[in-house]
Amino acid sequence: MSFTSPQAAKADPFADEALTHMDALYGVACKLTRNPTEAEDLVQDAFVKAMRARGQFHTGTNLKAWLFRILTNTFINKYRRGGLERSVLDGPDADPLADGWVSASTMRQLRDPETLALMPLVEDEIRHALDALPAEFRLAVVLSDVEEFSYEEIAGIMGCPIGTVMSRLHRGRKLLQRTLYNHALALGIVKGEERVGDAAGKAESGKTANLAEYRARKRGAL
């Protein structure tokens, strides 16, 4: 049974304003949980917590950022008792693939000049590529690229220093690019090229250029 009618809640300006961010919260919750049902529960929990804590919200500050912080904390408390997972790529980010690993012409082939987006075939892959990112990178990228929060706001939402936000963003985006590049390579959208990294980078490049092996790896990952 519904405790009160939705009509009764319409009189609450806080609830009304909070609900204008529901779609955004749901979109990010889907990316965090990778499960639409869990995303619904997560968003609902976050709203109830926001209602409970609304005395702590300072009018005039960013309600959307505040709601996202609650969503993130709720996610961590409920699904990840140890906090967001540590990056598997911890260590110096002198990843040979991270910087300047494809030529300008290859990068050009990845994007669609018409739509300011990726090539349609590459874009199909971005959902999987995003889901494959470690949660802390995924969240940073989505909060910045999709929700357009500032670094400072993201630091507040994720509870980490701004430098960490920048590092997560940079590496998250690089990982996305690498996945998309490998996908495009496998599909023959771009031609494999000599990698400008060290020997290890080249070895990996050679591996992913093998279509059969790439597909097998993908199947294994699913």
* List of residues contacting other proteins (CB under 8 A): 1-9, 12, 15, 18-19, 22-24, 26-28, 30-31, 36, 40-41, 43-45, 47-48, 51-52, 77-78, 81, 98-100, 103-105, 107-108, 110-112, 115-118, 122-123, 126-127, 130, 141-142, 144-146, 150-151, 166, 169-170, 173, 176-177, 180, 196
- Give whichever of 110 and 157 is closer to other proteins, judged by the CB atom: 110
Shortest Cβ distance from residue 97 to other proteins (Å)?
12
- Give whichever of 169 and 185 is closer to other proteins, judged by the CB atom: 169
Shortest Cβ distance from residue 31 to other proteins (Å)?
6
Distance CA 122, CA 111 (A): 8
Does an H or E element contain 118, and which? Answer: strand 117-118
Q: Where are the alpha helices (DSSP H) in the chain?
A: 6-9, 13-19, 22-33, 36-52, 63-79, 104-110, 120-131, 135-141, 151-158, 162-187, 199-208, 211-221
Shortest Cβ distance from residue 217 to other proteins (Å)?
22
Distance CA 140, CA 24 (A): 15
- Length of the chain (residues): 222
- Give whichever of 114 and 212 is closer to other proteins, judged by the CB atom: 114
Shortest Cβ distance from residue 202 to other proteins (Å)?
15
- Give whichever of 148 and 212 is closer to other proteins, judged by the CB atom: 148
Q: Is 159 left (phi over 0), alpha (psi -120 to 50) or beta?
A: left
Shortest Cβ distance from residue 59 to other proteins (Å)?
17
- Give whichever of 65 and 110 is closer to other proteins, judged by the CB atom: 110
Q: Which amino acid is at 219?
A: R
Distance CA 8, CA 187 (A): 55
- Give whichever of 129 and 186 is closer to other proteins, judged by the CB atom: 129
- Crossing angle of helices 199-208 and 162-187, in 10° steps, is 50
Distance CA 221, CA 156 (A): 33
Shortest Cβ distance from residue 122 to other proteins (Å)?
8
